[in-house]
Amino acid sequence: MMKTVKRTRRMNPLLGVLVAECDTTSEKIRTKLQDAYKWCFCELCWRNTEYVCALEARKVFKRTTRDSAKEVPLTDAMRKDAQRKADDLIERYEKLLPGGVLPRWDSAEYTLPSVQEALRMVMTYCNVREMRGDFSVTAFRDQVERATQIAAWSKRGDMLGAALLPNQKEGSAKPSKLYCEHHNPRRSTSAQRTYQRDRRLTNEYAELMSMIWSKQANKLPLWDIEAHTYVRKEAYRLLHAMKDTKSLIANMLAQGITNQAEIARQLGLERQAVSIAIKRHGLMPQPTLDKL
């Protein structure tokens, strides 16, 4: 598989200097990062990847020499400057919306030039995924105030990602774009064991997520990042509940209880989860004496 190599400079928080780093990105990672929702999740659970945590740890540094820099703190003056710009944008956004509310997409007002300009402001200054379908003035304010503050801060230097997470030692592997700290096999012996355990269950994990999306399609909006987190977390819980109840399911099948809905009711699981567990572990009902 072809890979591209991109050379970047990142601030090493332990050394206090900029360090050269080769960011080798495979096709798999590029595909993952292009997905609006999956990019931030660990491949094997619901947690954020180490890469996402590193992005959140970004800070601004001012270059002092070619290979070193010092951290630039976020000052009150920067906050005030950002707030003035945010207030102007918020006032403009509110005036563009009829009655201060974004019209429904299927209404005649939605095609008004002022509404289209307001939408362009949303796309320019906001993270639409985080807004979760709420384009009110209040939601716009939350986004714009953060965006203008970051912009005011980054003007004082270079905003750089962390080469290491706060609890990682010098020489550790760079933050993973695929796994969280609990599943990154390079992070620790415990993480390697967890990775090996859950890596074998990826197909069942995907099946359970599909099951939850299908069953709760009318309750879980696809555009809501919190819904994606819930589905992944619930599927992970069911996955390990299935593993822990393997012997219980086997015993119930041996007792002649072959109705999967009844097994699920007694164990407090979804029927589909019981079905997946039976297929996964090759569990078969034992023949009774009258059938021998």
The pLDDT score that the predictor gives to residue 151 is 85
pLDDT digits (tens, 9 = 90+) for 20-56: 455 555 788 888 877 778 888 999 999 999 888 877 7
pLDDT digits (tens, 9 = 90+) for 136-188: 899 999 999 988 988 888 888 877 666 666 666 766 778 898 999 999 999 88
The pLDDT score that the predictor gives to residue 72 is 87
The pLDDT score that the predictor gives to residue 14 is 42
The pLDDT score that the predictor gives to residue 290 is 45
- The better pLDDT of the pair 8, 272 is held by 272
Q: Say which residues have a Cβ less than 8 Å from residue 63's Cβ, sequence separation at least 6.
A: 18, 69, 157, 158
Give the Cα separation of 80 and 143 in Å (integer). 16
Give the Cα separation of 11 and 28 in Å (integer). 26
The pLDDT score that the predictor gives to residue 13 is 45
The pLDDT score that the predictor gives to residue 164 is 64
The pLDDT score that the predictor gives to residue 1 is 45
The pLDDT score that the predictor gives to residue 90 is 94
Mean pLDDT value of segment 274-286:
75
The pLDDT score that the predictor gives to residue 233 is 95
* 213: pLDDT strictly greater than 80: yes
The pLDDT score that the predictor gives to residue 219 is 87
> If pLDDT is split at 50, 70 and 90, which confidence band does 125 have?
confident
Share above pLDDT 90 across residues of the chain, in percent, rounded to a whole number: 28
* 196: pLDDT strictly greater than 90: yes
- The better pLDDT of the pair 116, 243 is held by 116
